[in-house]
Amino acid sequence: MEQEPPFVPGRSCGDCALCCKVMGILEIDKLPGAWCPNCVAGKSCAIYERRPTECRTFNCFYLLNPELTDIWRPNKSKLVLVAGANNITAWVDPGTPAAWRKEPYYAQLKRWAVAAAPALGQVCVRIGKRAIAILPNEDTDLGLLEDNERVLLQRRHTPAGPVLSALKVRHDDPRFAQARRN
């Protein structure tokens, strides 16, 4: 029996189905940025009982993090937050591609980027296949990120101190494998 995730009390997906639009679903070849063909009018899943494993195991960060207030609810913010080990991805509704730049969202994304920087953690914005790395010192538009590519952060030492840069690399690039081990 599957165990329910520790949702913040009183939170549920309810009438929000933005994840069904902004994220890709490999199991059914659904690309990010387009409504899932199984989503009924942006409100519910027509195949909920037999939905793909990716959908069954997904829970947005808003449902799990009590520090996020109601303004972060995806159908309000137009952002679906996904948190992993030392990374956060903000999947943006392509109908409102600048939503991540609005306040209070942008300031919080920057704070998360600053906090993640010492461990080379990532904060990325995804608008469809487009990826933008949020770094403490700048935002780097990486363009389209293909399925076989990943975002890699690198630390450069400068006279002013360490500076992070972001680049996209193939998933089999040895630098990516090394970064995952560190």
Measured between alpha carbons, how far is 119 from 133 in angstroms, rounded to an integer? Answer: 15
CB 145 within 8 A of CB 131: yes
Cα(1)–Cα(16) distance, integer angstroms:
25
**Burial of 89: CB neighbours in 10 Å, binned 0-12, 13-18, 19+:** buried
Summarize the confidence of residues 51-66 as an average pLDDT: 93
Q: Is the pLDDT of residue 1 over 50?
A: no
Contact 62, 71 (CB under 8 A): no
This prediction has a pTM of 0.90
Residue range 89-138, pLDDT digits in tens = 999 999 999 999 999 999 999 999 999 999 999 999 999 999 999 999 99
**What are residue 146's phi and psi, to 5 degrees?**
-80, 165
SS (H, E, C) 134-154: ECCCCEEEEEECCCCEEEEEE
Pairing of strands 39-40, 44-45: antiparallel
Domain residue spans of the chain: 19-181
Q: What is the pLDDT of residues 30-52, one digit of tens each?
A: 999 999 999 986 567 888 889 99
